[in-house]
Amino acid sequence: MTDYTPTEIMTIGAARLLGNDDVCFVGIGAPSAACNLARLTHAPKITLIYESGTLSTRPTVLPLSIGDGELCDTALTTVPVPEMFRYWLQGGRITVGFLGGAQIDRFANLNTTVVGPYDNPRVRLPGGGGAPEIAIHCGQIFIIMAMGQRAFMDKLPFITSLGHGTGKGSREALGVKTKGPTQLITDLCIFEPDAATSELTVTTIHPGVTREQIQANCGWPVKYAENVRETPAPTETELNVLRDLHARTKAAHAA
C-alpha cells in the first residue's frame, strides 16, 4: 500500500465527494486543493468559482488568495464581486460551498473571527469574508479541517458562519432554506450531521485510525453512526496528481 499523510487522505476524501455537475464555491487553502484535485481526476467538468468573481477557473497551481492572478488568467470569465454574490450565490446557482475554519462545534458552526473573548481575544483571526453568505446560500456545505482540541470546540467563542445552529430546525427557524453542512472531512475521519439532531456524527474512519484517537482530538463527546465504514485508501493516481499539484504550486510561488 502506498504511504500517504493524514493531510493527503483528508484532501483526497474531500475531493471524492465532488462531481462533474457541481458548481462549487471554493475557499482558499485546503478547500482549493480538494476541489482542484477533483477537477484534475474524476470531475474534469466541475465548475469552480472563487470569491473574487472568477467563473469556471482552471488554475494550474493553487492560488495564494482570491486575488491571485492565476484564477483570473485561467477563468472562463470574471464578473464583479457584487454580481458574484447577488446573482450567482444569492440566486441559488451554486450547488456546493467548500469551506474551512479555525474552529468548529458539534453542529458545524464555524469560527474564523477570534480565539478567546470577542472584546479581548487571544488571537484576532482574518474574519468571515464571504463565508457567512456562502454558508447559508449554497445548496450544501462541505467543510475540511484537521482535528485537534483547539479547533473542535464544545462551545465556540464566536460563530462566524452558520452551520446547524443549536441543532435540528435552527436553520429553518432563521428562514434559511439550504441544507447547510452535509460533510465534515478531517484528517482522521468524516462526519455527517445526524438526521434526527443535526449533530456531527462519524460515518467513515480513515485506515489505521482508532476511535480513541478521534475522541482525543475532539472537544465534545463524539457520536458514531450505526454502521461506520473505513475510508478507502488513496489510490496511486490520486496521490500522484495531488503531489504534482503541490509541487507545481511550490515552484511557482518560490519563483
Q: How many CB atoms lie within 10 A of CB 4?
A: 21
Active site residue 51: yes
Nearest to 41 by CA among 184, 242, 206, 234: 242
Spell out a b/e string for 154-178, using b for 16 or more CB atoms within 10 Å of the CB, else e: eebebbbbbbbbeebebbeeeeeee
Written as nine digits, the cell of 27 is 475557499
Residues 226 and 38: beta-carbon distance below 8 Å: no
Residues 163 and 230: beta-carbon distance below 8 Å: no
Q: How many CB atoms lie within 10 A of CB 40?
A: 19
Burial grade of 140 (CB within 10 A; 0-12, 13-18, 19 or more): middle
Residue matched to cell numbers 470577542: 118
Q: How many helices (H) and strands (E) does the chain have?
A: 8, 14
- Choose the catalytic residue: 51, 70, 199, 238: 51
Q: Which residues pair with 193 in a beta bridge?
A: 200
Written as nine digits, the cell of 164 is 446547524
State how far Cα 91 lies from the chain centre: 21
Known catalytic residues?
51
